[in-house]
Structure 1
Amino acid sequence: MHYKKQLAVVAVAAAVGLLATGCSGGGGTSSGPVELSVWTGFTGGDAPGYEQIVKDFNASQKRIKVTMSAEPWDTIQQKLPSAWMTGQGPDIAAPASDPNVIAQYVKTKSVLPITQTGSGDTKINVDDFAPALVDEFTYDKKLYAVPANYATLSLYYNKALFTAAGVTPPTTVAELKEAAKKLTSGGTYGLVLADNNTIQMWPVLQWLEGGDIVDSKNCSVLDSQKGQSSLKPWVDLVVNDKISPVGLTGAEADALFSAGKAAMEINGPWAAPGYKKAGIDLGIVSVPLDSAGKPVTLGSTAPLAISAKSKHPQEAQEFLAYWTGKTAQKKFSLSTGFPSLRTDLADDADLKADPVVSVFSAQVPGSRLYLPQVPNATKVDSDGYVPMIGTLTRGTPLAEGTQSATKTIDDLTGCSAK
């Protein structure tokens, strides 16, 4: 689902063909354009927006031709490491929907530092990006990727179900919990919660209660009093009040909402087209204020990086400059509902007037990245956090589940403060 958290899927055979012929080595001749290949996992409702960036770039000049293909994220993650190590992969790729994965490619020296930064249309305008996005992809003071997008999570709700139950959209965390219980009735779930293969929403629930996953020393705080108390109300709502099925993937949660079997879901802008197509009387509002009355939600991005073995690093950076440029990003936001990754579009009148973009953009100031630059962040999620949520929602005692997850996470991050 979700980013998690999306271009028409090309035939697997075509992707295999790219792999076999060596995309990084592709290029133009003296009489033709330089050819760049791009792999992504953008196969969802926002896919046409990415595809349009490529079309517009190719139409803007004749020196470079970009070909982009898309497959599911898990396929990209299986193919790309070996493809880039052997020089047979694409010139550019979005390696995963998880921004933290770039750390792995930096360690294996599979990605190039990005150097063509600065002002102007032919440079990558990093000073105009949201600062957290630059920090996320910077290692040893070198930038190794640019954001392919920036998304916040909002609260989707089924207007018809709300009207029938006499419920209004929640604005506080207390109202959200009460609405989730009241809307769970007759085979309809109040707040459908995916816990695997999805954009992370459980951290948002913890943040709403004042909790977190790790501290500033990258040590787990899940087993602390605050960590446990931030999980308990939501675990209780799932286990005792049955507001959501247990063990849902992102796609399964989306399917329930699309079928009118769930009143609410926390999701990103990529989900809106599918819900509208399904005929849902759709409402979108900001994630309710946290227990302290402050806005908070997940901010997510997917990285775009250049293969260390690309024969056309300059042209690749030129394409990334276009992708992240002001013109392309405004058009992308208007077509997909994503907030802009650029701070210089924050006050753009057209974006502020768009009913979808405006909701997601309004949450940028309160958005937080998930496990930003935490060592082994991807495995912290897959081996520690996700299994913990799965066991807690199946009835494992809170202390037992959080203590087990804490040990796993501290081992992965190298925490030595305990």
Structure 2
Amino acid sequence: MKNKRVIAALAGAAATGLLLSGCGGSDGGGGGGPVSLTVWTGFTGGDRPGYEQIVKDFNAAHPDIKVTMTVQPWDTIQQKLPSAWLTGQGPDIAAPSSDPNAIAQYVKTNSVLALTATGAGDDKINTDQFAPALVKEFTYNDKLYAVPANYATLSLYYNKKLIAKPPTTVAELQEDAAKATTGGKYGLVLADNNTIQMWPVLQWLSGGDIVGADNCSTIGTPEGQASLQPWVDLVKNKKISPVGLTGAEADSIFSAGKAAMEINGPWAAPGYKSAGIDLGIAPIPTGTSGQSVTLGSTAPLAVSAKTKHPDQAQQFVAYWTSKTAQLKFSQSTGFPPLRTDLADDAQLKADPTVSVFASQVPNAKLYLPQVPNATKVDSDAYVPLIQKITRDGDVAGGTASANSQINQLTGCSK
């Protein structure tokens, strides 16, 4: 599971090595060889080979450009990239974070290049084939500053040995989670930190949200509180999940066969299968409104404003998001395609893993999209809220405090 928000100190030798790799690698042999481009990404999970294949295929098809991708933990990138790009060091291209909202800080510091190589054709960034929400997420002042490095939806993983069939409604999900919590097993294992967010999905299913369209908190409204209360009761009173779990800890519980269900993304499937889980993957159940909703997750891919090779860097970004590369990536990783023109691809529809995640793309929502200080809203207000109320059960008191804190962070004037 993706690790977010943890900013750790980097060992001296590793930090030096990262910072010495300046933007715009050499033109092999004084201009006679290929242009060298460096890329940093944090894709260390089971989907890593899919990204590495994109680089390999690009290099094979473009002998005049040589791309080298360095993969390291997200916290390493988040620690070193801001200063590296400000000083003209670091990579030509990077996925700055697993949090799409993180691109805003690089736009503010003029550290990322406005992408201009958009349009039709394989050598252009085909923004008209991306989900509109993804284009909007990375557009500031009418300029595109990043592209989606991937796109994933969350689905309901279930252990067929512990639950006969997956729930189809939120009421069934809550009932099944309680029933399956028995004999040292948990019904629905939930992480609340260092993870892809699960709790917003639960709130959306139950008619609530975190921040409204006016950037003001909705967490303390009657609807917000009502969307949290049943889940808090299930965790605190029915013990459907341990509290305070990281994403990795929740994954380990499910992998060990000690949980009936978990909400997770396509990157988790290979690990669960290799652990011997009799695995089922189903769409997120329908919510109280009768509609299904899930989290859409993406990581930005951006070009340094100080790269010496902006045209070649944009050429690589165009290839990364091309129809050819994305079809191959989806087939190998189980991720739904980030391109709308692959939605009806017969090969992807035939894949039992890809098809489940792809089927939920129309129902997916981004988490706190372009909300001011979204990363701090999550880390400083929302995560502590969930950790508090799942322990003490005081939803009214917890949401009142979080409501005020969120509004301060977003600049809400209400």
TM-score band, normalised by shorter chain: over 0.9
Structure 2 letter corresponding to 1:60: A
Change (3 A) 1:13 1:78: same
Alignment of 1:91-102 (within 5 A): 91-102=92-103
| 2:51 counterpart of 1:50 | yes
**Could you give the per-residue CA deviations for residues 98-127 of structure 1, whole angstroms, max 9, x where no partner exists?**
000011100011101000000001000000
Contact 2:4 2:74 (C-alpha < 8 Å) held by counterparts: no
Structure 2 partner of 1:8: none
Alignment of 1:34-183 (within 5 A): 34-162=35-163, 167-183=164-180
2:328 is paired with a residue whose SS is helix
CA distance in 2: counterparts of 1:378 and 1:4, whole angstroms: 10
Deviation at 1:3, TM superposition (A): 6.9
Structure 2 letter corresponding to 1:199: I
Higher mean displacement: 25-34 or 272-281: 25-34
* Residue correspondences, number: 408
Contact 1:3 1:268 (C-alpha < 8 Å) held by counterparts: no
Structure 1 partner of 2:309: 312
Deviation at 1:61, TM superposition (A): 1.7
Structure 1 letter corresponding to 2:174: K
RMSD over aligned Cα, in angstroms? Answer: 1.4
Change (3 A) 1:275 1:4: farther
| 2:303 counterpart of 1:302 | no
Structure 1 letter corresponding to 2:145: Y
Deviation at 1:4, TM superposition (A): 6.0
CA distance in 2: counterparts of 1:330 and 1:15, whole angstroms: 35
Contact 2:23 2:304 (C-alpha < 8 Å) held by counterparts: no
| 2:187 counterpart of 1:190 | yes
Contact 2:233 2:393 (C-alpha < 8 Å) held by counterparts: no
CA distance in 1: counterparts of 2:168 and 2:211, whole angstroms: 27
Deviation at 1:17, TM superposition (A): 2.0
Contact 1:24 1:87 (C-alpha < 8 Å) held by counterparts: no
Structure 2 letter corresponding to 1:229: A
Structure 2 partner of 1:284: 281
CA distance in 2: counterparts of 1:241 and 1:14, whole angstroms: 45
1:311 is paired with a residue whose SS is coil
CA distance in 2: counterparts of 1:144 and 1:362, whole angstroms: 28
Structure 2 partner of 1:214: 211
2:281 is paired with a residue whose SS is strand
Structure 1 partner of 2:8: none
CA distance in 2: counterparts of 1:52 and 1:18, whole angstroms: 23
Contact 2:24 2:36 (C-alpha < 8 Å) held by counterparts: no
CA distance in 2: counterparts of 1:314 and 1:264, whole angstroms: 46
TM-score, structure 2 as length reference: 0.96
Structure 1 letter corresponding to 2:20: A
Change (3 A) 1:66 1:77: same
1:83 is paired with a residue whose SS is helix
Deviation at 1:359, TM superposition (A): 0.2
Structure 1 partner of 2:224: 227
Structure 1 letter corresponding to 2:372: P
CA distance in 1: counterparts of 2:89 and 2:319, whole angstroms: 25
Structure 2 partner of 1:237: 234
2:392 is paired with a residue whose SS is coil
Structure 1 letter corresponding to 2:47: D
Structure 2 partner of 1:17: 17
Deviation at 1:397, TM superposition (A): 1.1
Change (3 A) 1:81 1:347: same
**Could you give the per-residue CA deviations for residues 73-119 of structure 1, whole angstroms, max 9, x where no partner exists?**
11110111111111111001101000000111000111010000000
Higher mean displacement: 393-402 or 140-149: 393-402
Structure 1 letter corresponding to 2:364: S
Structure 2 letter corresponding to 1:2: K
CA distance in 2: counterparts of 1:56 and 1:322, whole angstroms: 9
Change (3 A) 1:13 1:34: farther
Contact 1:45 1:273 (C-alpha < 8 Å) held by counterparts: yes
Change (3 A) 1:398 1:297: same
**Could you give the per-residue CA deviations for residues 163-194 of structure 1, whole angstroms, max 9, x where no partner exists?**
xxxx4210000000011001111111110000
Contact 2:212 2:218 (C-alpha < 8 Å) held by counterparts: yes
Higher mean displacement: 267-276 or 391-400: 391-400
Change (3 A) 1:27 1:384: farther
Change (3 A) 1:31 1:377: same
Identity %: 74
Alignment of 1:298-377 (within 5 A): 298-377=295-374
**Could you give the per-residue CA deviations for residues 199-247 of structure 1, whole angstroms, max 9, x where no partner exists?**
0010000000010001111100111100000000001100000000000
Contact 1:152 1:299 (C-alpha < 8 Å) held by counterparts: yes
1:106 is paired with a residue whose SS is helix
Structure 1 letter corresponding to 2:383: V
CA distance in 1: counterparts of 2:62 and 2:394, whole angstroms: 61
Candidates 269, 274, 282, aligned match of 1:272: 269
**Could you give the per-residue CA deviations for residues 6-50 of structure 1, whole angstroms, max 9, x where no partner exists?**
xxxxx9956742422424454433221111111111000111100
Structure 2 letter corresponding to 1:39: W
CA distance in 2: counterparts of 1:27 and 1:137, whole angstroms: 30
Contact 1:329 1:341 (C-alpha < 8 Å) held by counterparts: yes
Where do 5+ consecutive residues of structure 2 fail to align? 6-10
CA distance in 2: counterparts of 1:135 and 1:79, whole angstroms: 27
1:410 is paired with a residue whose SS is helix
2:391 is paired with a residue whose SS is coil
